[in-house]
Protein backbone atom coordinates (compact mmCIF):
# COMPACT_ATOMS: atom_id res chain seq x y z
CA UNK A 1 0.00 0.00 0.00
CA UNK A 2 1.58 3.31 -1.05
CA UNK A 3 1.97 5.87 1.69
CA UNK A 4 -0.86 8.40 1.77
CA UNK A 5 -3.18 6.42 -0.49
CA UNK A 6 -6.80 7.38 0.02
CA UNK A 7 -9.70 4.98 -0.16
CA UNK A 8 -13.34 5.80 -0.72
CA UNK A 9 -15.83 5.32 2.06
CA UNK A 10 -17.58 2.72 -0.06
CA UNK A 11 -14.37 0.68 -0.40
CA UNK A 12 -13.64 0.90 3.33
CA UNK A 13 -17.18 -0.23 4.11
CA UNK A 14 -16.88 -3.17 1.70
CA UNK A 15 -13.62 -4.35 3.27
CA UNK A 16 -14.84 -3.83 6.84
CA UNK A 17 -18.05 -5.69 6.09
CA UNK A 18 -16.12 -8.62 4.61
CA UNK A 19 -13.99 -8.97 7.73
CA UNK A 20 -17.04 -8.56 9.97
CA UNK A 21 -18.80 -11.40 8.13
CA UNK A 22 -15.98 -13.72 9.19
CA UNK A 23 -16.08 -15.84 6.04
CA UNK A 24 -12.42 -15.07 5.30
CA UNK A 25 -9.48 -14.52 7.62
CA UNK A 26 -7.91 -11.13 8.12
CA UNK A 27 -4.78 -12.34 6.31
CA UNK A 28 -6.83 -13.51 3.32
CA UNK A 29 -8.61 -10.18 3.06
CA UNK A 30 -5.35 -8.25 3.45
CA UNK A 31 -3.89 -10.22 0.57
CA UNK A 32 -7.02 -9.93 -1.55
CA UNK A 33 -7.33 -6.15 -1.16
CA UNK A 34 -3.56 -5.42 -0.90
CA UNK A 35 -3.96 -3.82 2.51
CA UNK A 36 -2.20 -4.16 5.83
CA UNK A 37 -4.18 -6.28 8.32
CA UNK A 38 -4.05 -3.50 10.94
CA UNK A 39 -5.73 -1.12 8.48
CA UNK A 40 -8.54 -3.59 7.91
CA UNK A 41 -8.91 -4.08 11.67
CA UNK A 42 -9.12 -0.33 12.13
CA UNK A 43 -11.90 -0.07 9.54
CA UNK A 44 -13.74 -3.00 11.13
CA UNK A 45 -13.57 -1.27 14.52
CA UNK A 46 -14.92 1.91 13.01
CA UNK A 47 -17.76 -0.02 11.34
CA UNK A 48 -18.70 -1.69 14.61
CA UNK A 49 -18.47 1.56 16.60
CA UNK A 50 -20.44 3.65 14.13
CA UNK A 51 -22.76 0.99 12.73
CA UNK A 52 -25.55 1.78 15.19
CA UNK A 53 -25.70 5.33 13.80
CA UNK A 54 -26.89 3.93 10.47
CA UNK A 55 -30.22 3.11 12.05
CA UNK A 56 -30.58 6.19 14.22
CA UNK A 57 -33.05 8.91 13.27
CA UNK A 58 -30.36 11.50 12.62
CA UNK A 59 -27.10 10.80 10.90
CA UNK A 60 -23.87 12.70 11.42
CA UNK A 61 -24.45 14.68 8.23
CA UNK A 62 -27.94 15.68 9.37
CA UNK A 63 -26.51 16.78 12.72
CA UNK A 64 -23.88 18.93 10.98
CA UNK A 65 -26.53 20.48 8.74
CA UNK A 66 -28.70 21.21 11.77
CA UNK A 67 -25.76 22.79 13.62
CA UNK A 68 -24.92 24.92 10.57
CA UNK A 69 -28.52 26.08 10.30
CA UNK A 70 -28.61 26.88 14.01
CA UNK A 71 -25.39 28.89 13.72
CA UNK A 72 -26.78 30.83 10.76
CA UNK A 73 -29.99 31.58 12.62
CA UNK A 74 -28.12 32.81 15.71
CA UNK A 75 -26.03 35.09 13.49
CA UNK A 76 -29.19 36.46 11.89
CA UNK A 77 -30.76 37.06 15.32
CA UNK A 78 -27.64 38.94 16.38
CA UNK A 79 -27.69 41.12 13.27
CA UNK A 80 -31.39 41.87 13.72
CA UNK A 81 -30.89 42.79 17.38
CA UNK A 82 -28.07 45.16 16.44
CA UNK A 83 -30.22 46.70 13.71
CA UNK A 84 -33.11 47.13 16.15
CA UNK A 85 -30.87 48.86 18.70
CA UNK A 86 -29.50 51.14 16.00
CA UNK A 87 -33.02 52.02 14.84
CA UNK A 88 -34.11 52.74 18.42
CA UNK A 89 -31.20 55.18 18.84
CA UNK A 90 -31.52 56.75 15.38
CA UNK A 91 -35.25 57.30 15.21
CA UNK A 92 -36.69 59.46 17.96
CA UNK A 93 -39.92 58.14 19.34
CA UNK A 94 -42.65 60.73 19.56
CA UNK A 95 -44.90 60.33 22.56
CA UNK A 96 -48.42 59.24 21.73
CA UNK A 97 -51.21 61.67 22.49
CA UNK A 98 -53.64 60.41 25.06
CA UNK A 99 -56.76 59.65 23.16
CA UNK A 100 -59.85 59.13 25.22
Give residue 51's pLDDT: 80
Query: What's the rounded Cα separation, in Å, for the pair 73 and 91?
Result: 26
Please say if the pLDDT value at position 1 is more than 50. no
Residues 71 and 92: their CA atoms lie apart, in Å, by 33
Task: Look up the pTM and report it.
Answer: 0.52
Domain boundaries, the chain: 1-56, 58-91
Residues 9-22 have pLDDT tens digits of 899 999 999 999 98
Amino acid sequence: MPKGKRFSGQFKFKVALEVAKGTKTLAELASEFSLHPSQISKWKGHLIAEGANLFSSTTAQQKREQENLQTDLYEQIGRLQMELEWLKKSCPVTPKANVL
